[in-house]
Amino acid sequence: MSKPTQAAAVKLIFSVFAPAGNLINDAIRRLSDLYGRPDYVSAQIPFDDTAYYMPEMGPALVRRFVSMEGLIRPEHLPDIKLAANEIEGRTLLGSSRQVNIDPGYLSQAHLILATGKGYTHRPYLRDGIYADLTLIYQAKKFCSLPWTYPDYANEKLWTMLGAIRSRYLLQLKMRGDEQRAV
């Protein structure tokens, strides 16, 4: 019989995209008010791997990735997604969002994103929120899965996430929460 143990704390991350950098910066400030200081904010990059958001948000979207300094409990992810939805709702122009905020977390073994859309590989968490297993970490790198979003299935992003993961592992070690590294 297995003995239940509490999961290690995880590294909170956000993907924030919008038609303009000032909207992203405002969203990051709001997230910082809720979750503390970021310890990584990426450069602004084009969000052009999909046209899915174009009808709602327009063309020429830009994106930044953010990781937060403080670690979180993984079971808080639904609350964080609901708070991100609330921030998005404050940016509505008519019925269209001006900002998209996708929260998730890095653990030693994977990247999980929160979503409100269920699917075969997305287990239900609670309150209308599902967990999307987006990337796994094996053989000393992130690896995509058959369902990984195209913008997450790129090695440049994996390098950035690998650097965030290294910072996270150091935080675990300093806190004494270190489990066997994957």
Q: What is the pLDDT of residues 60-91, one digit of tens each?
A: 999 999 999 999 999 999 999 999 999 999 99
Q: What is the pLDDT of residues 87-115, one digit of tens each?
A: 999 999 998 999 999 999 999 999 999 99
**pLDDT at residue 49, as a whole number:** 86
Written as one string, the DSSP assignment of 43-79 is PPEE--S--TTHHHH-SS-EEEEEEEEEEE-GGGHHH
Query: What secondary structure letter does DSSP report for 96?
Result: B
Distance (Å, rounded) from C-alpha 30 to C-alpha 22?
A: 12
How much is the mean pLDDT over the chain? 94
**pLDDT at residue 181, as a whole number:** 40
pTM: 0.93
Q: CB neighbours of 18 closer than 8 A, spacing ≥ 6?
A: 24, 27, 57, 61, 62, 91, 98, 99, 100
Distance (Å, rounded) from C-alpha 121 to C-alpha 108?
A: 20
pLDDT band at 182 (very low <50, low <70, confident <90, very high): very low
Mean per-residue pLDDT, 17-35 = 96
